[in-house]
Structure 1
């Protein structure tokens, strides 16, 4: 099985497909915005916003904007490599809390939980 997606295909979660199905009935005039909002457990205003986006941008409007892209809050991969390299060279026997303090003193500040996550993933 291959995970390649054709350019004309749109990957959607089940929730997004459900929203699309309900909003499509609104666009077709078979359901009111208020009914759709109640079904989707959103406000009528959000229903109007979704309908407008769907009419303007098509089905892709319902897919999250960061789908297939890295998080906006993701750390720089080079900085991550530097921190892990310094940890392995000097602080291998330290726990994440003490190591984070020592790394910060060395000029490589990193959060304790971030360091813990990186160490578990490495």
Structure 2
């Protein structure tokens, strides 16, 4: 597993824990965002993407594309 894949999985797991805390009313969105090291607005965007697209919505879209600088 590459480092970027590991970091992405870790980020998703941390988001899921914070999201569940919000759903169970144990955390506010601001507290969850602070735990994840992001601003409130970014956390709300993640929540929207998760609710619309599921786990696929949380994947870093930059990692899917081929690099334009990749050697032929």
Length-normalised TM-score, structure 2: 0.68
Structure 1, unaligned stretches of length 5 or more?
Answer: 4-10, 78-122
- 2:17 pairs with 14, 21, 44, which one? 21
Q: 1:68: Cα distance to partner?
A: 4.4
CA separation in 2, counterparts of 1:20 and 1:62? Answer: 10
- Distance in structure 2 (CA, Å) of the matches to 1:63 and 1:24: 18
Tell me: CA distance 1:68–1:36, structure 2 relative to 1, closer, same or farther (3 Å): same
- Is 1:33 matched up with 2:29? yes
For residues 29-65 of structure 1, the C-alpha deviation after alignment (integer angstroms, 9 at most, x for no partner) is 4221111111111111111111111111111211111
Q: Which has the higher helix share?
A: 2
Q: Which has the higher contact order (CA 8 A, sep 6+)?
A: 2
1: CA distance, partners of 2:69 / 2:16: 30
- The aligned residue for residue 74 of structure 1 is 69
User: 2:20 and 2:60 mapped to 1: Cα distance?
Assistant: 18
- SS in structure 2 opposite 1:70? coil
Partner of 1:59: 55
Number of residue pairs the alignment of both structures matches = 66
Q: CA RMSD in A?
A: 2.4
Deviation at 1:76, TM superposition (A): 5.9
Cα distance in 1 for residues equivalent to 2:45 and 2:36:
13
Partner secondary structure for residue 63 of structure 2: coil
